Chain A
């Protein structure tokens, strides 16, 4: 048993209101420099939709993640035979059009336009060429466009649906959408790290945060195509790639990452997990539909004496083990079993988990009366608007069972709360629902509390980083304090 600690995250999708506050917080801190205009380390997508960059889930086009022959994993994006003919140009990466051409507006026009019959407008200007452009796409171009004939229709997850279901997802009054906030998953088996010819990417040993060394990066852009979530971006100004750093300077000073901190819907949970790295080679080659369960097996119980013993033997600090025991991520993923990894079939084993949304139930409107009667409201998750298999494709590696389990348990919690607070659901109904959902009263209460009432300190359990100790070993802490901060100590430049 090779126990390691990993900072992991849970996003509760039922709570996301799609306000993009997280994206803006991130952009203001990290990506408001030249060359990073188009980078959204955090973005919020509307699903069904093609996301950002367009159709990032289509690995036929982008060749991200790992493929397996049943015995060994290999990168889809590159290999001995592929690397030579594509050494000067990697065709499997998003073009600027698949992201978008960053733009600003010619605001002077508003003030300097000559007097005329028309209201002056600020024309968009490309931030790359400085020329006037017609804006054709943006980082959230299909925001709230559920049922769009271009974007929703081409969502790769739609392939998991039957033609009838697909039709339903596109038809008026039946169509549905929800939000999917995305950041780097800080995967356990990161394809970006494996693909880098320069060895610029690494996964931090103490917390598993995946980073790009700006001094080592040589602009191969292998990581851009290898990452199946398209969360590494190439900075055209510095000639280096960049990605989400999980705000490690904030984490190291005990603050939640900016996107977590600013989240209006309080959908984000952060905590560390202990996992067994030895299991990775074995479970990496399992069939797609077994991967969710396998990844859960890999995550270890931090209360188990044997695990604690092995963690100590691996040099994991007592404080980190304690923090893992309080981790809300452990509760959501292992205890409740309601948080699921996105597209685990890419086999990078993402460490960001999503609680799938129950979504509003069906309602119908007749004679100006909105009708969502109790039968429909608490009928069955199978009658929910979004087909289970859509979530199965997104969060289950094609396994609808794990999604059904997660939704049923949330459904049961909802019935329990309805019984306790409103009283229009009988105790028998609630108990039956709990039994069907493999849930207890205590667990239902815990899920309810963590979902609704948890404060910032409960949602984000930041493990102690012992940076002081680590720094003390290397240099005088006072000197170090004077030499660090946000931004670059030495700016990354081309050619170094």
Chain B
């Protein structure tokens, strides 16, 4: 409550200044905006760190005006569907990945974010330059370690849950992994390589993963190993075809049947009668 009230006051102030002297170059960007950017934008964007899924945002205001940017940020899909030429170009560059519409993102906040980007772009080295992973070649050890992390054989240092709980990849054997999240076998190629995947892993932006990993981020060597593993699966494996779910259903029913038969055997005397047996035996 306190925060949102503060937030509203700040936004109101920004709006007022923005209306009077746009583009405002306020140096004191609020902590809230920074956190929001960190949590929601950095998995696809850097500021001066090169392209991930989305474009590098350094100097983005020189490419498009703040007003256009704010409108786009609030609802990217609408702008793209509206047939805006630049937005369609962005979509093409992102290999048809459409920037998600983030919850709770108002026009005010979007304006604020644009201001933040302006401020950060002006710096020599932005704090949002992105995860600086080593560029060393990925080894077999990395793949093995990543696989262990994926399966939960080795715990993730921060205490985050293992990937297999919600995702499956080709080659995890048996029933594979969970089916809550998408198949990750070819995620390496889907996200276009090492850097965007690493960025995703460092701060997963999806609605399901974010609350889990916000407080339990992966360390940089874990990210690298995971990238190595997912790269290996993308090169060798194929996504599990759809009949996996059906097999799981059948196996589940078979398992339930086995358990019921087992119960019936263990408690087979539960309906024993005394009298009827006496009568039968005497015949």
Contact = CB atoms under 8 A, between A and B. Distances in A.
Given A54-B278, A150-B278, A154-B278, A91 B269 contact: yes
Given A54-B275, A58-B274, A89 B282 contact: no
B20 interface: no
Contacts of A97: 273, 275-276
B243 interface: no
Contacts of B279: 136, 150
Interface string A139-159: 000000000011101100000
Please give me the 6 A-B residue pairs with the lowest Cβ-Cβ distance, nearest first: A54-B275, A91-B270, A150-B282, A97-B273, A54-B274, A98-B274
A293 B279 CA distance: 38
Contact of A50 (B266, B267, B278): B278
Given A149-B282, A150-B282, A89 B276 contact: no
Given A89-B267, A149-B282, A150-B282, A94 B274 contact: yes
A229 to B, nearest CB: 15
A279 to B, nearest CB: 35
Interface of B: 266-267, 269-276, 278-279, 282
Contacts of A61: 272, 274
A53 B273 CA distance: 11
Contacts of A150: 278-279, 282
Contact of B267 (A54, A91, A94, A98): A91
26 contacts: A54-B275, A54-B278, A55-B274, A55-B278, A58-B274, A61-B272, A61-B274, A85-B266, A89-B267, A89-B270, A91-B267, A91-B269, A91-B270, A91-B272, A95-B274, A97-B275, A97-B276, A98-B273, A98-B275, A136-B279, A137-B275, A150-B278, A150-B279, A151-B278, A153-B282, A154-B278
A82 to B, nearest CB: 12
Contacts of B278: 50, 54-55, 150-151, 154
Contacts of A50: 275, 278
Interface string A82-100: 0001000101001101100
Contacts of A154: 278
B279 to A, nearest CB: 6
A247 to B, nearest CB: 30
A53 B282 contact: no
Nearest to B282: A150
A98 B278 CA distance: 11
Contacts of A91: 267, 269-270, 272
A61 B276 CA distance: 14
Interface string A41-65: 0000000001001110010010000
Contacts of B276: 97
A151 to B, nearest CB: 8
A95 B282 contact: no
A489 B71 CA distance: 75
A53 B272 CA distance: 14
Contacts of B274: 53-55, 58, 61, 94-95, 98
Nearest to A154: B278
A95 B267 CA distance: 15
Nearest to A100: B275
B45 to A, nearest CB: 56
B270, B273, B274, B282: which has the most chain A beta carbons within 10 Å?
B274
A137 B266 CA distance: 29
